[in-house]
Amino acid sequence: LSSGADTDEQRAFAAVPKFDTVYREQRGRVLGAVRAILGPSDEVDDVVQLAFIEIHRCLDRFEGRSRLSTWCYRIAINVALQHLRKKRRKRWLMLGTTGEEATEMAGAVHSAGRLEDRQILEKVYRAVDTLSEKKRVVWVLHELQGQDPGEIASVLGIPMNTVRSRLLAARRDLMDELARMGVAPDGGTK
């Protein structure tokens, strides 16, 4: 009995992937998730690092109920959202360039061909910032990361209908916000 338990323990231990492997295989996915949640930001590197620290901390608790990539993705999203929450709390302290100036400065470092997309990205994220956290995650994962509602439901651990309803609501809110910003015409959805 004892040896059987040991074997199970060893098997469970062997099933836990090594961090180096996880880091090597998942870093692109983690980076994509963090970048999608944060948008254009200088803090992507830091948040990726925080996400991997969290992955390292929780790796021995990975039970294999979901795919490792999904598990890492979920952690990356949670860490990025946590970072956004902290950032919102201390936003009132931030001084410096206005949004327009920051946009121009950021655009200056990109080539002319990518400038328009970059500007669009920043405008879209300014609108995305007005969404609630729940809507934001669903919208970002679907529209920018290209995940279908089923995958999003799996990552976030919520029903698929909830994903659909949040996505619908996020899209309406976003179109209204873009129209309000003068970036897109009013669609008359309200």
Partner 1 sequence: VSRCQRVADASAAADAQSLAALAAHAEACADCAQAQHAHAAYQHLVSGARRALDAEGDLAPEAWVAIRSGIDAATGRPNRWRLAWPVGLATAALGVALVVVAPKFSAPDSRDPAAQLSASEPAGVLPDRLPASTAPEAVARLGDDAPSPGPGDVLSTADDARTIVAFGRHVLTLSPATAVEVVSWTPSSMIVTVRRGSLSCDVARASAAELFEVRTSQARVRVLGTRFSVTAERDGATAVHVGHGLVEVAHIGGTTRLAEGQADRFGGAPAAKLAPEAQVEPEADGPRDPAARGSASRAVRGHSPQLIDIKVPDQAMEPPAASKRPAPKAGAGGDLKLIEIVVPPQSAPSP
Binding site for partner 1 (CB under 8 A): 19, 23, 27-28, 31, 35-36, 40, 44-45, 48-49, 52-53, 56-57, 114, 116-118, 120-121, 123-125, 143-144, 146, 168, 171-172, 174-175, 178-179, 183-190
Nearer Cβ to partner 1, position 68 or 179? Answer: 179
Q: Is 70 helix (H, G, I), strand (E, B) or coil?
A: helix
Contact 155, 70 (CB under 8 A): yes
- Amino acid identity at 171: R
* DSSP codes joined into one string, 69-124: HHHHHHHHHHHHHHHHHHHHHTGGG--SS-HHHHHHHHHHTS-HHHHHHHHHHHHH
* 77: its two tokens: 């999203």
Nearer Cβ to partner 1, position 105 or 168? Answer: 168
Nearer Cβ to partner 1, position 62 or 125? Answer: 125
Output the smallest distance, CB 62 to partner 1, in A. Answer: 15
Output the smallest distance, CB 83 to partner 1, in A. Answer: 15
Nearest to 39 by CA among 1, 83, 69: 83
Around 188, how many Cα atoms within 13 Å sit in the side-chain half-sphere?
0
Output the smallest distance, CB 118 to partner 1, in A. Answer: 5
Output the smallest distance, CB 106 to partner 1, in A. Answer: 11
Nearer Cβ to partner 1, position 124 or 156? Answer: 124
Task: State the residue for tokens 């952690």.
Answer: 75
Nearer Cβ to partner 1, position 96 or 146? Answer: 146
